[in-house]
Amino acid sequence: MDVRLKIIKRAVLEIEDGMNVNLGIGMPTLVANEIPSEYNVMLQSENGLLGIGPYPIDDEVDADLINAGKETVTAVSGASYFDSAESFAMIRGGHIDLAILGGMEVAENGDLANWMIPGKMVKGMGGAMDLVNGAKRVVVVMEHVNKHGESKVKKYCTLPLTGQRVVHRLITELAVFDFTNDGMQLIELQDGVTIKEVQEKTEASFIVSPQLLSNQN
Active site residues: 46
Q: What percent of the chain has pLDDT over 90?
A: 75
- Please name the residues in contact with 201: beta carbons below 8 A apart, sequence gap of 6 or more: 144, 145, 151, 153, 174
Per-residue pLDDT tens digits for 109-159: 999 999 987 777 676 677 899 999 999 999 999 999 999 999 999 999 999
Q: Is the pLDDT of residue 213 over 80?
A: no
CA angle 86, 127, 90 (to 5 degrees): 30
The count of other CB atoms within 10 Å of the CB of residue 130 is 21
Assess if CATH 3.20.20.10 describes domain 3-216.
no
Let me know: does 111 contact 157? Beta carbons within 8 Å. yes
Residue 44's H or E segment, with its range, is strand 42-45
Q: Check residue 213 and give left, alpha or beta (phi > 0: left; psi -120 to 50: alpha).
A: alpha
pLDDT at 27: 92
Q: What are phi and psi of 188, to 5 degrees?
A: -145, 150
Let me know: does 8 contact 30? Beta carbons within 8 Å. yes
- Please name the residues in contact with 145: beta carbons below 8 A apart, sequence gap of 6 or more: 151, 152, 201
User: Mean pLDDT across the stretch 59-69?
Assistant: 88
**Full-model pTM:** 0.94
Let me know: does 139 contact 11? Beta carbons within 8 Å. yes
Q: Is the pLDDT of residue 178 over 60?
A: yes
Closest C-alpha among 124, 148, 193, 139 to residue 171: 139
pLDDT at 217: 56
- How far apart, in whole angstroms, are the C-alpha atoms of residue 22 and residue 46? 8
Q: Check residue 152 and give left, alpha or beta (phi > 0: left; psi -120 to 50: alpha).
A: alpha
pLDDT at 212: 87
